[in-house]
Structure formats: C-alpha cells, structure tokens
Structure 1
C-alpha cells in the first residue's frame, strides 16, 4: 500500500523574491526579477539581462558564520543554503545536536562554485596554490550544497546531490518521494540550486538561445509561449521543500502545504528526434502519461499545468506534447503557466523554484498569470483555447497541478501535486 507523502516546509531564493512571503507576493502580482546585468554588458554578451536573487550581506550573515564567509565565493551553495534552511524552519523542524537518522537531503545542482573554480585557477597559475583556502574543495564539489545543508541541520539519513540539467529540481523531489515511499526515511529536504554569472551563462549566449533585443527592456525579455519569444533569459537561485511521510507530519502537527501523488522520470535516449538539446516527443509524452498512472489519477483530474516552457522555439512542441499525453485540447485543456516569464530560466534550480510556486498556488488558492504572452504563438492557439493561458492571476481553487521539467541530454521529469485533504 502506498504511503501518503506531503510537503511540510517551503523555501526559496528566486530572482523575484528571496523568502516565501516576498516570492508569493511576486508571483501573485506579476513582479519580474529580470534586470539589466552590467557585467554581461561589459563582457559584450548578446543577452545583457538576467534573473538573479538579490542577497544582502545582512542576509548572508543569518545563514553563515563570519568564518564560513571568509573566502566564500559560491553563489549556488549560498542560494541553496538560504532556501533549504528556510524550508526546514518553515516546517517547524529542529537543528540537531546529534544526527537525525530519519531525515536526509536530496539537493540538486548543475555546477558548484564556478566563480571559486575561476579564482582557484588564477591562484594556481600565479603559483599561489597555498593561498587557496581551506574551503575550496567544499565550495567546488558538486555535492557542496547538500553537504553544507546536512552539516548545518544535522541530517543523518541520505545526504546527496543529483544533477540532470534543467530536470534536476523536479527529479530531486521525486527521489525524495521514492526514498520515503520505500520506508528508508521519514522526511527529506528536497530541492536544487544553480550558480549565477557569466561563466555559467556564456555557453548559452554562444548557442544564441538567449534574447538580445530586450537589453533595454529587461522585464519584457522572457516571453514563454509568445509569438515574439526570442530565447530564454538566464537565471539562477534555489528552491526547497520538506517532503515528509503523512504519519510523521500529523504526529508533529505540522502545516501541510500539499500532497505529492507521484510522478515519473525518464529519458528519450537522444533518439527519434531527441538530441543533447532537443526533446524526444514520445519520451516526453510517456513521462507525463506514466506520472499520471503512478499518481493514481486520470488526465481529466488535472486542473492546471506548470510547464517547462522556456520562451524558445520548443514551447509550441511542449504544448503539443501535453495535448497528446493528456488527450485534452481546445477549451478542455487545463490552465497552463510558466514561472520563467517572471524569473528567467534558472537552469538546474528551475524545477524546484517552479515546484514551490506550484505548491503555493494549491495552498493559497490562486493561479498566477503569464507575463509577456498576450501575443500567443499561432501554433499554440491552434492547439488550445487562448483563455487557458492566463495573462493575469486569478483566484481559483485548483486541486491538482502537474509540474514537468525537460532537460539537456533528453531527460524528463513530471510530478503531480494535490491540494491536501486529510
């Protein structure tokens, strides 16, 4: 018999809001976190706008000691620790003097400490290896974010970092779900983070998949599902949630934000049209279909979709895949939104930040609108009723939201969240 697994804590460091109150206000009111980036302009990037969380020195000091911050230069770990600790506190959980054997972390990352790597390379080349500092390894190992969180909280169960490109965050939530479902943990801190800066984003600028014509109008740059979409705006940040066995949550009298019904992870094998950068549509559809089966619901039960929808030429294909997987189109299609219109594409952090947004919509009873897509792409309007792409936030009462992420390497993940009913 399947366990019921719920979400009892949320945390976020997003371009349009650090902390749940600020983030919820932003998504409800269409507040964008995309800004002009002087460094990208200085480095002559084609795309000179980005979405980055705004972190003050005062906020850093709430999460790291003065000693830890000495020589600290890893934005991904910074965002991940802020989001993860907020989620842990939000769940009403304690920081442990001895290891908590029932609690662990699955916290994903695409890279770790890219700026620290650069700093280290220069010091080595200048024969200053001994001046690298004692934390260079912890800041640059890919599992650095989960290691920092495990140590700050005192986690005694599995503590690990997954990495699956833009699918990372959604996959981490499903890995947490599976570990609890198998009885090996009571709760897992699940999420993902992404470094920020030119050394992460340069490759995408080279690929010409980022917009260059909105440098003077940053908030208009990210345009998922729009006919005038010109590529994804690079972003960064972290999202986190405490995933917990229902029995444990009820024993603690915890606030329950939503229930995880199940999901699916797969790959298209870079076959049948799939490649390193393009999705295999058959695999995408199978991922969604199998997620629905695993969740024990039907496609008609889904009230809304939080899509991957990056503001590239693949948006129309994604909508087509949803219509085929759900066998729903036109006016029968669920509402659909993309957080990337407000944050840009936060890469390995996108799935976790967007999942936090999906859960907030269920818990608070609203669906946020999509910025910059009043000119819906004609290939999308041929598939679904335009009213299903909300331009403004509506008060609603969604019961089930499907969240999916699709990543480089032709990898996919889909999770089904449900409004909690005891």
Structure 2
C-alpha cells in the first residue's frame, strides 16, 4: 500500500499566553508567563493558589448559543481552536466529500468542569435533580463529537486519552490514518479545562504542583535546581493534517510535514516516569527511525519537561541515551515554563510551537530557569532566558503521561 505524505495546513490555539495563533506565538517568543492567581474558585483552603488560566475569553463572543448549551468548557475550547484552524487552512468544506474528513481529538479529563458543578449541587441539596445535559457534557469523546457535529465532518471521529500524552497520540493516529489512505484530512489536537477544585486539590495531594504562591509567574521552571512542581494550565490546540496530494491540488499553504510518530510504555509506575528514561528514549528512537532522520539531524526538541524534580531528569536521561552526552546540534526548550501544563492539550500546543519554529526560524525559551540542575550535563543545550534564532529543519516534541505513556512526534521543514 502506498504511504502518503502528511502535511500541516492549518493551526488554531487558545492558551494562557494567547487566545489565537498569533497572540500565542508572539507571547511565546517574548517569554511571557501565563501564571496568575486562580480566579475560578476560592483558593483559601488550597496549598496552590495560582494556575495558568486563559484570559479575556468570553464564550458568548466565540460560539453560538446552541453550541454553548450542550458543551463543557473543554469542548468549547476545542470548537474555538478548530474554527481558527479551519479558517487558517482555507479548506472549503462544501466542496469536499464529508466522509473524507475526520476528527481525532484528545482530552485527559474531559468534561470534569461541569461534572464537578453538578455533583456540588447534589451534595448540597441531596436532591438528584441533575441536568439532562450532564451526560453529554462530561463525556470525554464530546470534543471530537461536537467538532464533527458543528462542521458536518462525517469521516472517522473519536477521542484518544493517554493522560498528558493524549494530544500526541491523537495527532499520531491522524497522521497514520492519512498515510494509510483512510482519510484525506483530519482535524486533530486536544483540549483541557482542568483548573477546577478537584484538579488542583488532587494534584496537591500528590505533591505534584508548585506551591510558589508568592511568585506564581516564576513557578514553572523546568530543569532548574529549585523547581518544585508543575503549574496547571488550560486551553486547546488544533492542527489540520492533510494528505499532500489533496493539499497540493487545492493550492494550500503548507506549514510543515509530519514524518514520524511513535509510542512506548514505561511499565514502571502509576505516575512517575522511569528514572533512566528508557521508554521515552525508545519513543524518540522509533519516531526518528520512521521519519528516516538520524538523531544528529534534529535541531529542536520541545521537551515534555513539566518542572517536576523527577520527570525533568528522566527526560534528560532519555535524551542522553539517544543523542549522547554532547548533542551539538540539539537545542532543547520547555514551553510549559510559560503556558503551564495543559495536560491532555499539552502536546497539541507544543506541536504548534515546533511547527512555528520551523516556519519562523525561532526557538522559544525556557523562562524562569536561572540555575540548571547540576545533574544535567553542561553539554546539554537548554535554551533559557530569551528566544534564539536558529534554522530548524527537524523538530520533535515529547509528551509523557501517568500510566507510563510516552509519545513523540517528528516535524520536518516542507520540501516539495
């Protein structure tokens, strides 16, 4: 079976540092922190009182009333970024067989925002008078379902969920199905609305979140010796993946090509990544092998690096296993220093930064990292402080999730 080339023709983003692609990219280049005191609920009794919230977002200005009525916040984020990405792609949906366009969406938690609100009302009143929309709103597949419904997309539609590796697995599936000829276009990515009491309280109980309440804008500091946990984020990212011949025929703008993807499992621990980074290293190795790319050819790695003591070093160990102790061409950065950790949406927004790095020749910084952990070799080039200009032909992004999921994507500068 002929394997098709898969290109990216549209992008959409809604993040703590920008409510569209242009704002997101400009603020990432500028090294902007999205961390602020939590406004969504009273944090008096919580150890962590801040998060990377989306700012200035009014759902009534972005979606029709009928869409809002039947969606949780994570699905609303999905619809907004998909609208931007479809517009950016220039696709004329009316001229395409709707069975040729599918949706593979990702979310780690789904509609927990609405679920929590309904349960709190029940706990207070003791009366099981739940909304008839509780079921549809809380279902994790409804991001994909609502995108299909709104835009009349009749190809395969489903949701992947692999914790914080979720978006990467969704994008990997979309890429694979296009290669196999099962669709010509996919809307793919992920969304999350996890800044809720259960989310913050649960991760506090695990001691996973930063408690730097005095300086929240400095709290997410991947690879720094003083890192004390991740910062919760929220938002969504959408990519339009397209069969190259289909994109070429309609004269589409091509941002980049996706050339490799792989997943592995640590089979080690319910939450912690394997300290030696073996599984993560294998995910990168397999993805690069599929892409036909040697490790020394990789210019940029957008690391998963969440700013946790164990996780960051595990990923560095994975890099050392694959790229060696002195990877001269490889530049590493963690955009979670700016956006916080978007859980199931993280891979999508980080893929967008890889694609924009290829397009613009700019690698965004790891902010707040002022003293790199001494266990990290000085020969590992972590981009801190400010963005750098660099020719990026090959960029990869890692995402790792609770349960031991490792997922890597490989993006390449487009060559006709």
Asked if these proteins are the same fold (TM beyond 0.5), I'd say yes
Contact 2:68 2:76 in 1 (8 A): no
Contact 2:370 2:384 in 1 (8 A): no
Q: In the alignment, which residue of structure 1 is the partner of 2:171?
A: 173
Contact 2:48 2:200 in 1 (8 A): no
**Among 254, 257, 267, which residue is 1:256 paired with?**
254
Contact 1:97 1:154 in 2 (8 A): no
In structure 1, how many angstroms separate the alpha carbons of the residues matched to 2:409 and 2:29?
A: 22
User: Are 1:28 and 2:29 matched, yes or no?
Assistant: yes
In structure 2, how many angstroms separate the alpha carbons of the residues matched to 1:26 and 1:293?
A: 33
Runs of 4+ in 1 over 6 A off after TM superposition: none
Q: In the alignment, which residue of structure 1 is the partner of 2:57?
A: 56
Contact 1:91 1:255 in 2 (8 A): yes
Q: Deviations over 1:109-155 (max 9, x none)?
A: 1122213213333555647656614x332211111111110011111
Q: In the alignment, which residue of structure 2 is the partner of 1:315?
A: 312
Q: Deviations over 1:75-116 (max 9, x none)?
A: 211211111221111111234499711000100111222132
Task: Give secondary structure in 1 for the equivalent of 2:375.
Answer: helix
Q: Deviations over 1:372-405 (max 9, x none)?
A: 112111011x2634x5434211122210011111
Paired residue total:
410
Cα deviation for residue 66 of structure 1 reads: 2.1
Contact 1:81 1:148 in 2 (8 A): yes
Contact 2:187 2:240 in 1 (8 A): yes
Contact 1:63 1:81 in 2 (8 A): no
Task: Give secondary structure in 1 for the equivalent of 2:258.
Answer: strand
Q: Which runs of 5+ in 2 are unaligned?
A: none
Cα deviation for residue 333 of structure 1 reads: 5.4
Moved more, 315-324 or 278-287: 278-287
Task: Give 1:390-401 correspondences, 5 Å limit.
Answer: 390-401=384-395
In structure 1, how many angstroms separate the alpha carbons of the residues matched to 2:115 and 2:252?
A: 41
Cα deviation for residue 67 of structure 1 reads: 3.5
User: Are 1:405 and 2:399 matched, yes or no?
Assistant: yes
Task: Give secondary structure in 2 for the equivalent of 1:157.
Answer: coil
Q: In the alignment, which residue of structure 1 is the partner of 2:205?
A: 206
**Among 396, 408, 412, which residue is 1:414 paired with?**
408
Task: Give secondary structure in 1 for the equivalent of 2:186.
Answer: strand
Cα deviation for residue 335 of structure 1 reads: 0.3
In structure 2, how many angstroms separate the alpha carbons of the residues matched to 1:149 and 1:97?
A: 18
Cα deviation for residue 410 of structure 1 reads: 0.4
Task: Give 1:65-214 correspondences, 5 Å limit.
Answer: 65-70=64-69, 74-96=72-94, 100-122=98-120, 126=125, 132-133=131-132, 135-196=133-194, 197-212=196-211, 214=212
Task: Give 1:212-231 correspondences, 5 Å limit.
Answer: 212=211, 214-231=212-229
User: Are 1:344 and 2:340 matched, yes or no?
Assistant: yes
Task: Give secondary structure in 2 for the equivalent of 1:403.
Answer: strand
Q: What RMSD, in angstroms, separates the aligned Cα atoms of the two structures?
A: 2.0
Task: Give secondary structure in 1 for the equivalent of 2:188.
Answer: strand
Task: Give secondary structure in 2 for the equivalent of 1:161.
Answer: strand
Q: Which runs of 5+ in 1 are unaligned?
A: none
In structure 1, how many angstroms separate the alpha carbons of the residues matched to 2:95 and 2:144?
A: 18
Cα deviation for residue 287 of structure 1 reads: 1.1
Contact 1:79 1:193 in 2 (8 A): yes
Contact 2:296 2:329 in 1 (8 A): no
Contact 2:301 2:395 in 1 (8 A): yes
In structure 1, how many angstroms separate the alpha carbons of the residues matched to 2:136 and 2:75?
A: 10
Q: In the alignment, which residue of structure 1 is the partner of 2:47?
A: 46
